[in-house]
């Protein structure tokens, strides 16, 4: 199926040699790349198991004698820090849920109906992706205060949805477009409504697309920093990214705790990535690869 | 849903039925339209209005000052510096993202290794993309610390003779944050380009080989032209998103030292939320929007062209 060549794949004329020079160079290159990509992350994880005094030990060591889960237990027993995680999970799950519901309905409409204003509406949805968050932040600040939503979950869920929703609509429209219209028509001939066709037939078939969109939406929400920084105020409303920033601002750097918190902070997205690689990558490529 | 029921109820009235039927797609779109109007169209109008007034939000009765905020901003040395920094940061990031992304994609696409080995490397290569900008910032602050592991390796190998203050040196900080952003962003290209590479039919290469093309020629005359549409899309999206990058800068250098890493985004944020110059901040925010929209326009035209 996948039969393309690349720069480094020489086509051996005879039987493929087990250890050709090309292969050795290739593996060296791949290992070098893996160090570049992976070492910082390895270092982060290793540092989270060190004591704070050993973080900058000379010479540096990956694993030290004081290897312990101490930093994790400090983070996980601190109610203030646990709250950051609860907030992040809550906001991200709500954003994902609402985005999928609203986005699926909109995607269905774009895929199945021809209507006035379809083109300009579509342009606006694509255009929103290119609007700088910082541009929206200033009006949001006064808008959210006027709506009395400052320092609430609703402020974060609503503002995050502007970006996640436009993404989800583009994804879901594309996905529905690949499904034949005869599918929903069959349901309607049997006496079902359009909504029933959507619920009973299209949504189950589109589950891979929905999962992919959901994962990417969750990731966007989980990673958001600028709005969370500005639209919340009290420490009990802060999310993980803002929480990490607050740890940095303090005078004594508890590097091991910060690293433990970072490891915990990337865990949900990492788990989603490892278990749903195919969907995760589909979400990444959606914007750039056609078809 | 509501509209569907409505249609059944009013089956006697044909015109009403027609109108209702036209409204069905809008029923599905209603939540989207409300959200996007209130939280993107209205705010954009608001920010533009703010930018034409004297100090809004802080003043009770702001007055119209025309383009004064823009003039003041554009003639400001700090703002000019921020534009140059943003351009350097964005263009370097896009170029190196592409180079690294394409190199890694081609390494991963090779037939010389088993698919398991390649899958394993792919998992590692995508990792930087999985991490939040905040975490990436903290992580690299640890690595690039004067007492950190990178300085240790550089000293040990004799590449430098004394510790380098990567993030607090006036000469190096901008390159350092750009370097971090390059590390954080290449997987986005790699994944898309890998999909693109796998979509190039093998016959093209066979035909090229028969015509006597060497590997470099195959790359320049088959691989690159085939990937061109993807590369253009990626570069334009990345250009827009990198131009907006706030978190990474804010968490590593905060725009310092002495504003050598000040970007349009961080400057706008500081104008608004540190100096409470909301009008100037709005003008600056609107300039970023305008720059983004120019690139976005090219992007949409490009997508349209490849649709046809």
Q: For A177-212, what is each residue's pLDDT tens digit?
A: 888 888 777 777 777 777 777 787 888 888 888 998
Complex confidence, ipTM = 0.87
pLDDT of residue A291: 31
Q: Specify if B3 maps to a domain.
A: no
Asked whether residue B115 is assigned to any structural domain, the reply reads yes
Which residues lie closer than 8 Å to B85 by C-beta, 6 or more apart? B174, B260, B261, B262, B263
Establish if A163 belongs to a structural domain: yes
The count of structural domains within chain B is 1
pLDDT value of residue A286: 66
Is the model's pLDDT at A228 over the cut of 90?
A: yes
Residue B138 structural domain: 70-307
Choose between A290 and B230: higher pLDDT: B230
CA angle A36, A39, A42 (to 5 degrees): 155
B24 or B234, which is more confident? B234
pTM: 0.88
A186 and A109 within one domain: yes
In chain A, residues with a C-beta closer than 8 Å to the C-beta of B192 are 284-285, 287-289
User: Using 50, 70 and 90 to split pLDDT, how confident is the model at B2?
Assistant: low
Q: Best interface-test mutation with B: which of A13, A42, A135, A225 has the largest number of B CBs within 10 A?
A: A135
Q: Given CB atoms, is B140 within the 8 Å cutoff of chain A?
A: yes
- Helix A118-128 vs helix B14-36: angle between axes, to the nearest 10 degrees? 10
Please give the residue range of the domain that contains residue A65: 21-71
Residues A134 and A200 in one domain: yes
Q: Which of B33, B128, B205 has the CB atom closest to A5's CB atom? A: B205
Q: B200 and chain A: CB distance < 8 Å anywhere?
A: yes
Taking phi over 0 as left and psi of -120 to 50 as alpha, with beta for the rest, A151 belongs to: left
Partner residue opposite A245 with nearest CB, options B196, B251, B292: B251
Q: How confident is the model at residue A118 (pLDDT cuts 50, 70, 90)?
A: confident
What mean pLDDT is predicted for residues A154-172? 92
Q: Which residues of A touch B229 (CB under 8 A)?
A: 290
- Listed by number, the residues of chain A in 257-286 with a beta carbon closer than 8 Å to a beta carbon of chain B are 258-259, 262, 265-266, 269-270, 273-274, 277, 281, 284-285
Best of A99, A103, A138 to disrupt the B interface by mutation (most B CBs within 10 Å)? A138
Same domain, A67 and A107: no
Do A201 and A65 belong together in one domain? no
Q: Cβ B195–A285 below 8 Å, yes or no?
A: yes
CATH number at B253 reads 1.10.3720.10
Tokens of B303: 């997508």
- Whether B134 sits inside 8 A of A244 (CB atoms) is yes
Taking the CA of residue B202 and the nearest CA in chain A, the distance in Å comes to 5
- CB contact under 8 Å between A135 and B285, yes or no, is yes
| Interval B51-75: pLDDT, tens | 998 877 777 777 788 888 899 899 9
Binned at pLDDT 50, 70 and 90, residue B301 comes out as confident
CA distance A196 to chain B (A): 9
Assess if residue A55 is contained within a domain.
yes
**Using one digit for the tens of pLDDT, what is the confidence trace for B28-44?**
888 999 999 888 999 99
- Residue B148 CB contacts under 8 Å (≥ 6 apart), including other chains: A56, A60, B142
What total number of domains does chain A contain? 2
The interface residues of chain A toward chain B in range 170-229, judged by CB-CB distance below 8 A, are 193-195, 222-223, 225-226
How far, in Å, CA of A47 to CA of A55, rounded?
Answer: 6
Clarify whether residues A264 and A224 are in a common domain: yes
Sign of CA dihedral B87, B89, B91, B92: positive
CATH number, domain of A140, equals 1.10.3720.10
Residues 230-259 of A with CB under 8 A from B: 230, 240-242, 244-245, 248, 255, 258-259
Alpha carbon distances (Å) from A96 to A249, B87, B179: 30, 33, 32
The two structure tokens encoding residue A133: 């968050």
Domain membership of residue B76 (yes or no) is: yes
């Amino acid at each position: 199926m996948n039969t393309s060549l690349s720069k480094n794949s020489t086509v051996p004329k005879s039987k493929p040699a087990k250890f050709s020079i090309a292969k050795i160079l290739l593996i060296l290159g791949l290992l070098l790349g893996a160090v570049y990509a992976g070492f910082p992350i390895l270092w982060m994880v290793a540092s989270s198991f060190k004591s704070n005094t050993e973080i900058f030990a000379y010479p540096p060591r990956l694993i030290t004698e004081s290897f312990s889960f101490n930093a994790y237990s400090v983070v996980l027993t601190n109610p203030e820090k646990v709250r950051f995680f609860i907030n992040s999970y809550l906001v991200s799950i709500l954003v994902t849920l609402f985005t999928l519901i609203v986005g699926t309905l909109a995607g269905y409409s774009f895929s199945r109906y021809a209507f006035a204003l379809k083109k300009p509406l579509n342009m606006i949805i694509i255009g929103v992706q290119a609007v700088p968050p910082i541009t929206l932040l200033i009006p949001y600040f006064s808008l959210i205060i006027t709506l009395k939503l400052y320092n609430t979950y609703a402020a974060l869920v609503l503002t995050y949805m502007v970006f996640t929703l436009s993404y989800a609509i583009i994804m879901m429209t594309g996905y529905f477009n690949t499904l034949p219209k005869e599918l929903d028509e069959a349901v309607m001939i049997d006496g079902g409504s359009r909504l029933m066709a959507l619920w009973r037939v299209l949504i189950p078939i589109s589950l891979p697309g929905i999962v992919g969109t959901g994962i990417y939406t969750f990731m966007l929400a989980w990673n958001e920093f600028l709005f969370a920084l500005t639209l919340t105020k009290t420490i009990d409303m802060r999310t993980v990214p803002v929480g990490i920033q607050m740890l940095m601002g303090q005078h004594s750097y508890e590097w091991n705790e910060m690293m433990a918190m970072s490891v915990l902070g990337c865990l949900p997205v990492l788990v989603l990535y490892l278990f749903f690689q195919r969907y995760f990558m589909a979400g990444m490529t959606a914007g750039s690869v056609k078809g | 849903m509501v509209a569907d029921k409505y249609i059944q109820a009013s089956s006697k009235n044909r015109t009403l039925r027609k109108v209702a039927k036209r409204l069905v797609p809008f029923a599905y779109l209603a939540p989207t339209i409300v959200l996007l109007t209130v939280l993107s169209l209205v705010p954009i109008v608001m920010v533009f209005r703010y930018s034409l007034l004297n100090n809004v939000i802080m003043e009770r009765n702001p007055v119209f000052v025309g383009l004064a905020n823009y003039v003041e901003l554009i003639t400001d040395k700090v703002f000019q510096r921020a534009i140059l920094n943003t351009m350097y940061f964005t263009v370097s990031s896009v170029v190196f993202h592409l180079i690294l992304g394409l190199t890694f994609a081609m390494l991963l696409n090779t037939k010389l290794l088993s698919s398991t080995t390649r899958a394993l490397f792919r998992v590692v290569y995508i990792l930087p993309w999985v991490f939040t900008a905040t975490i990436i910032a903290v992580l690299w602050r640890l690595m690039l610390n004067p007492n950190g592991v990178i300085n240790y390796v550089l000293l040990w190998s004799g590449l430098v003779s004394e510790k380098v203050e990567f993030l607090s040196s006036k000469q190096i900080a901008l390159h350092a944050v750009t370097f971090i952003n390059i590390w954080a962003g290449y997987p986005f290209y790699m994944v898309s380009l890998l999909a693109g590479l796998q979509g190039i039919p093998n016959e093209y290469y066979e035909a090229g080989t028969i015509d006597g093309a060497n590997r470099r020629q195959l790359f320049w005359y088959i691989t690159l032209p085939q990937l061109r549409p993807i590369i253009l899309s990626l570069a334009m999206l990345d250009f827009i998103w990198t131009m907006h990058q706030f978190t990474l800068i804010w968490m590593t250098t905060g725009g310092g030292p002495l504003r050598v890493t000040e970007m349009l985004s961080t400057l706008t944020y500081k104008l608004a939320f540190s100096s409470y110059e909301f009008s100037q901040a709005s003008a600056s925010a609107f300039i970023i929007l305008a720059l983004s929209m120019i690139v976005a326009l090219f992007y949409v035209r490009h997508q349209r062209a490849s649709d046809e």
